[in-house]
Amino acid sequence: MNTKLLVNVLLLSISLMLVIGCSERVHDQKIPIEDFFDKPDHSNFKISPDGKHIAYLGLEDHCKNIFVLNLENPDSSKQLTYQNSMNVQYYFWATQDTIVFSNSESYKDSLRLFTVDVHTEEIRPLLAPSKHSLDWVKPARAFNGSLLARMNRRDSTIIDLYRIPLAGGEPQLVDENIHDFKEWFVSSDGKVRLALSSDSVEDRLWYREEEYLPYRNVLETDFSSLVYPLGPLKNSKQNVYALSNRGRDKMAVVNLDLETGTETILAKNDDVDMNGDGYSFTRQELLFSTAYNKKKETVIHNEQLKHIYKTISSQFEGNSVDIIDVDSSFQTVLFKTYTDTNPGGIYYYYKGKIKELTPINPALSNKKLPAMEEVAFDSRDGKHIKGYITYPLEKKDKYPVVVLVHDGPNRRDVWGFNSEVQFLANRGYAVFQVNYRGSVGLGKNFYVSGFKQWGGEIQNDINDGVAWLIHKGIADKDRIAIMGTGFGGYSALYAACFNPTLYKCAISSSGYINLFAYFKEFPPYLNSYKQLYYKIIGDPQKEYELFKAISPLFHAEKIRMPILMFQGGKDRYNSMTDVNHFVQKLKSNNVPYQYVLKEDEGRRFKKDENIVEFYQTIEKFLKEQLK
Amino acid sequence: MAKIDSRYRKNFGLLLVFLLFVTLLFVISVFFARTITSNFVQTDFNNRKAEVFDETIKDFNEFFQEKIPEVAYYQGFMDSVQAKEFSSTVLRKYPFVQKIEFSDIVFTNIDSAQRQMRIGNFGASSKSSYQYQLSADYRLQSTKQTASGDLSSNEELYSVFLRLCTWLGRDQIDTTKIANTEIYKLFYNIQPGKISYLNIPRMTDILAFRNMMIDANYQKSVYEQDFYVFYILPTKMQVKNKYTNLYEKVSIKPVVDQYVLNEDVYLKTEIALPGALSEYKLQFESSQNHISKEINKKFFPVVIILILIYLILLSLGYLIYRNVLTNNRMYQLQYDFINNLTHEFKTPVSVIKIAGNNIKSAEQLSDGDRAMYGRILDQEADKLNSLMNKLLSFAQIENKSIKFNGEYIDLKEFSQHIFESTRIKYPDLELQTRVRVKDEIYADPVLLTSVFQNLIDNAYKYSSPSKRFLEINVEQTKKNFVILFNDRGIGIDKKEFNSIFKKFYRVKNQFNQQGSIGLGLAFCKEITEFMGGEIKVESELNVGTSFTLVFPTEVKNG
């Protein structure tokens, strides 16, 4: 007995030593860039209406093709399309037997839509290839043999509503767009009764009892409020589920009476906006609701689903479980698990059993990665700002910091697995993300307080966060870099012009250089859209002084810190003439700069080799500058 | 001797040839240097103009490459207020900009009476135009153009618009980007004296323009654009003459200059100004006087260097000449030495020979004679012996083969011994001595004796018989033993102080005809220094000479 115990203790200590030895080696392990940005081969999983199949896009012949997984009988799973020169860009289950897919390369490409029969694999064109735009009315599925879509078929500048017969044939015009409608919403019977118009500042909801009746304006919102219908309520024509922040700061899921405009709150969060992803059209019911608080919080409203969710969650202790799709009979649940340190995977639950469909990033699944911590600080004017910090695994007294500013500004950083953050942390930098004012999802007031604060309070929030990090003794004040894409890049370049002492260097990826040019991206015929941006940034004609003051292009000669600039040639918000001038100015001022132009990329680099080069360049640049 | 003399003469000839040759070389090189410098300055005159040109049009280039494109930053959002501000900075910073015309224009496909130019559905009209100028007192004057909207009068805009439309109307245009050359062709219109500039629209805007032109059903839109015409007066450019030494006058002149050239201009060159400045040229002029000054300035250091080289060559020649002279003197000294030595040896040898003959031929030798001959032979043999010893020991010292047999000597006893023998040797010498020493000296007694002997011999030898006097003082100071020999002899000329210690050197005087080989003092110096002391001389002609020997009291063994 005693000897056995001794042996056990010995074995335990040996294994402990092994573990410690391993984990120590993990600390300085440099993970290759490719591993961080590896994309799974299988994607776009969708459950069939009957819940017995899952379709997905998989790589075959170097092209994305549709595959169908038979859950009942896995042996009869099959590949549905056999394209070898074009990717399937997107697809959806139109009916139980038919899948609609597109292989257009980009929004500029002509429309190429097809239907494929799940059983016979017969592919037929849905529409004759044409040059206009097309957006599916959600939920994208067939009602009485036809699909609802918004198209500018009649007049390239006007988007109308059409029914497209699934069997092929001419689309039929449902509604001419007379009220500047942005979106239509379908009722449970396939009829369209509800529409949303917007001049970008004020939204209006339009309602009609039947399709032959005219629309009536039933609801208006001001520029900061939003009402967005999610779908019809069971057995009700005039009540819908909607996301709304009318009369309150945070977005809630409500039951909206279209006739009276009254709302009944179904789900809300005191800290953050609710998301609208838990509504099921087939059941016409709010199954669950989610919100990005400290972590993503999921509340299941349906008792039956709650039970299933509990079963699933218990299998993934410590992981976040996001429901992706669920069929109407709760046979099948498609879900994703992850933590901040593990990219996780996509799984399905079928009749009580859980199976993995694909890991998100298998190269990272066994690696030890640092956690993402939520932090909060007060900006100089007392505004409470939240952010995230990810420390490198190797503990130090003070860290070199990379401030990663999110794009937008009307977006936000959320807790979860972030490859870019993990890459930087793995290279030894503490990564600091700030949800500066103007970020969305944190309430109306917070969003509105970022209006006209580009380069102003928004920049102050970021800088104050950095000052707070220095004050807390976390950041090494001589080794702080600021980087970002789009608005984040703008913020980095702005910091290069106006905060030369706080940051050591700046990295911009297609950062906005000239806000006059940024504004020009809204074509004159979309004047209505400009209203919102007049509020968010300003009016370039009336407030040109402000525009000059906050556009980096006008202040390039102030820059002395090292700059790394990436630019996608197809980025629409920067004019290449401006970028060239900006770089020219850096050059003539002998600023140490590096400029990488990729002609066929957009704002964010998409091609694998460009992504690798992007991060390689960043790694080298940071290594040199934050020595 | 004759041979040597002829050698001297040959030397002088060679030197003379050398001198002539070097001088000739000097004159020729000075001449060539002058010619080359002159050519160099003239080439410079033609070449340096590019630098003056660059400096002069630097401001213009900055204006053209940096300031004008700034208009595009505003993406058409400029109005009269901004344009005024922009024009004000331009007019004040760049004096060669005379006048600025600004037109706030719109590109549109909406039919309106305002629109004055139209290609297809695409038209342009001017919302307003302004003219900005600086008054004489540097105030900005802004005038609104009355013919608002009338674009036909605005030929600049008309031509830019036409070109843009022609380009937009092409079948094939790259929809992703415009090449730099296209940008220059489309949005700039450069004529002598004028630069027109239309703010470069974004690519998406250009595509929209194209659609407006081609597609009648295109969404009715209005795009704001800014259009500038800058009037340039090149004569207002500041000429920055970096090379005032080369160019007496640099001026901006019209390209066509009908007037006859200024006659007193010696050198003249010009360079055409580019682009909007092309009606003018940069003209460089210099008078003969100005150029000569520059040539001389460049030539001066060259001449200095040549003179230096010349002087170095001359001094080299002199050094060689001096070397030859010294060698010759050495030769003569050795020659004299051999003469003297022979003579020195000859006298005792002949005396011995005569004594020998006398003894041989005498039938009977009296005791007195025998004693006399014996003494004579003995004396002469001693003389020869001492001569040979002298030569030998000197040679030994020269070759450093002598050994220093140092011991502690009591100077009182040592000098007393010498004084006694001196009194015996030279009874007619008045010898005064004084010895005041405490310590013993560390020296080689044999060598020290010969130093004393030499100096005493000299004192005796170089004194007129009436003044044979020698004072010897042996003293001890803190650090040294000082031994002074003071005579009242003929003295030595100051000029010869350096030479008397040289080997084979003899002062030329009546006491020196015979019996001297010029080694005594050289020998003394060598030995004294060999023993770690030093020897000094002070003298006045016909008054006396004093030699001072100084030996350190503390002798480092070695």
Lowest mean pLDDT among A376-390, A471-485, B68-82: B68-82
Domain residue limits at B508 = 403-552
Lowest mean pLDDT among A1-10, A491-500, B161-170, B261-270: A1-10
For residue A263, report the phi and psi dihedrals to the nearest 5 degrees.
Answer: -120, 140
Q: Would B395 be classed as within a structural domain?
A: no
Return the pLDDT at A294: 87
The mean per-residue pLDDT over the stretch B293-306 comes to 91
Q: Would B529 be classed as within a structural domain?
A: yes
Q: Which residues of A touch B (CB under 8 A)?
A: 155-157, 514, 516-517, 519-521, 523-525, 540-541, 544, 547, 551, 553-554, 569-570, 572, 575-578, 581, 585, 599
A152 pLDDT band, cuts 50/70/90, is: confident
Q: What is the pLDDT of residues A156-200, one digit of tens each?
A: 778 899 999 998 888 999 989 888 888 999 998 889 999 998 877
Return the pLDDT at A21: 41
Nearest to A569 among B73, B176, B215 (CB): B176
Greater model confidence, A561 or B288: A561
Return the pLDDT at A57: 93
Q: Is the pLDDT of residue B150 over 60?
A: no
Q: What is the pLDDT of residues A252-294, one digit of tens each?
A: 999 999 888 899 999 999 999 999 889 999 899 999 999 998 8
Q: Is the pLDDT of residue B558 over 60?
A: no
CB B444 within 8 A of CB B531: yes
Same domain, B8 and B63: no
- Between chain A and chain B, the number of residue pairs with CB atoms below 8 A apart is 71
Tell me whether residues A156 and B218 touch, CB distance under 8 A: yes
Return the pLDDT at A16: 41
Q: Would B502 be classed as within a structural domain?
A: yes
Lowest mean pLDDT among A1-10, A605-614, B313-322, B432-441: A1-10
DSSP conformation letters of A475-507: EEEEEEEEEEETHHHHHHHHHHHH-TTT-SEEE
B207: closest CA of chain A, how far (Å): 11
CATH of the domain at B521: 3.30.565.10
Mean per-residue pLDDT over chain A, rounded: 88
What chain A residue is nearest to B77 in terms of C-alpha separation?
A541
Return the pLDDT at B152: 59
Greater model confidence, B125 or A590: A590
Spatial distance between the Cα atoms of A54 and A75, rounded to a whole number of angstroms: 13
A156: which chain B residues are within 8 Å (Cβ-Cβ)? 215, 217-219
CA dihedral A510, A516, A522, A527 (to 10 degrees): 160
CA dihedral A334, A338, A344, A346 (to 10 degrees): 10
B225: which chain A residues are within 8 Å (Cβ-Cβ)? none
Return the pLDDT at B480: 86
Q: What is the CA radius of gyration of chain B?
A: 54
The mean per-residue pLDDT over the stretch A471-494 comes to 95
Q: Would B308 be classed as within a structural domain?
A: yes
Q: Is the pLDDT of residue B45 over 50?
A: yes
Give the right CATH number for A372-625 from 3.10.110.10, 3.30.70.1140, 3.40.50.1820, 3.90.105.20: 3.40.50.1820
Same domain, B7 and B69: no
Q: How many residues does chain A have?
A: 627
Return the pLDDT at A386: 94
CB B19 within 8 A of CB B317: yes
B222: which chain A residues are within 8 Å (Cβ-Cβ)? 524
Bridge-partner residues for B472, per DSSP? Answer: B433, B485
Greater model confidence, A82 or B170: A82
Same domain, B325 and B412: no
Q: Is the pLDDT of residue A572 over 50?
A: yes
Q: By C-alpha distance, which of A373, A390, A488 is closest to A431?
A: A390
Lowest mean pLDDT among A340-354, A531-545, B393-407: B393-407
Q: Is the pLDDT of residue A6 over 50?
A: no
Return the percentage of chain B with pLDDT > 70, whole number: 87
**Distant-in-sequence, close-in-space partners of A2: CB < 8 Å, separation ≥ 6:** none
B204: closest CA of chain A, how far (Å): 8
Residues 53-82 of B with CB under 8 A from A: 66, 69, 72-79, 82
DSSP state of A143: B
Q: Give the side-chain half-sphere CA count within 13 A for B70.
A: 20
DSSP state of A590: T
- End-to-end alpha-carbon separation of chain B, Å? 47
Same domain, B116 and B154: yes
Q: What is the pLDDT of residues A221-263, one digit of tens each?
A: 887 788 999 999 888 888 999 999 988 999 999 999 988 889 9
**Distant-in-sequence, close-in-space partners of A524: CB < 8 Å, separation ≥ 6:** B221, B222, B223
A478 pLDDT band, cuts 50/70/90, is: very high
Domain assignments of chain A as residue spans, ordered by start: 372-625
Spatial distance between the Cα atoms of B286 and B244, rounded to a whole number of angstroms: 10
Return the pLDDT at B359: 85
The mean per-residue pLDDT over the stretch A45-71 comes to 91
Q: Would B262 be classed as within a structural domain?
A: no
Counted domains in chain B: 3
Q: Would B90 be classed as within a structural domain?
A: yes
Bridge-partner residues for A163, per DSSP? Answer: A148, A172
Return the pLDDT at B323: 86
Q: Domain boundary at B283, B310, B338, which?
A: B338
Q: Is the pLDDT of residue A54 over 60?
A: yes
Structure tokens at A202: 């004020």
Q: How many residues does chain B have?
A: 558
The mean per-residue pLDDT over the stretch B102-129 comes to 80
Helix pair angle (B520-530, B367-398), 10° resolution:
50
Q: Is the pLDDT of residue B556 over 60?
A: no
Spatial distance between the Cα atoms of B342 and B338, rounded to a whole number of angstroms: 6
Nearest to A524 among B66, B202, B222 (CB): B222
Greater model confidence, B183 or A49: A49
Tell me whether residues A541 and B79 touch, CB distance under 8 A: yes
Same domain, B447 and B330: no
B155 pLDDT band, cuts 50/70/90, is: confident
Mean per-residue pLDDT over chain B, rounded: 82
Structure tokens at A231: 């779908």
Q: Is the pLDDT of residue A61 over 90?
A: no
Q: Give the side-chain half-sphere CA count within 13 A for B88.
A: 11
B397 pLDDT band, cuts 50/70/90, is: low
Return the pLDDT at B114: 64
Q: Is the pLDDT of residue A51 over 70?
A: yes
Return the pLDDT at A215: 92
Return the pLDDT at A23: 44
Q: What is the pLDDT of residues B175-186, one digit of tens each?
A: 667 777 888 888
The mean per-residue pLDDT over the stretch A454-467 comes to 94
Return the pLDDT at A223: 76
Handedness of CA A470, A475, A479, A484 (dihedral sign): negative
B231 pLDDT band, cuts 50/70/90, is: very high
Tell me whether residues A570 and B200 touch, CB distance under 8 A: no
Same domain, B10 and B142: no
Return the percentage of chain B with pLDDT > 90, whole number: 13
Helix/strand/coil (H/E/C) assignment for every residue in B172-196: CCCCCCCCHHHHHHHHEEEECCEEE
The mean per-residue pLDDT over the stretch B193-211 comes to 87
Which of A527, A551, A567, A575 is the best mutation test for B, with the most CBs of B within 10 A? A575
Same domain, B18 and B88: no
Q: Domain boundary at B338, B367, B395, which?
A: B338
Q: Is the pLDDT of residue B501 over 80?
A: no
Which of A516, A586, A599, A601 is the best mutation test for B, with the most CBs of B within 10 A? A516
Nearest to B75 among A516, A576, A599 (CB): A516
ipTM of the complex: 0.73
Helix (H, G, I), strand (E, B) or coil at A563: strand
Return the pLDDT at A9: 45
Lowest mean pLDDT among A541-555, A605-619, B322-336, B369-383: B322-336
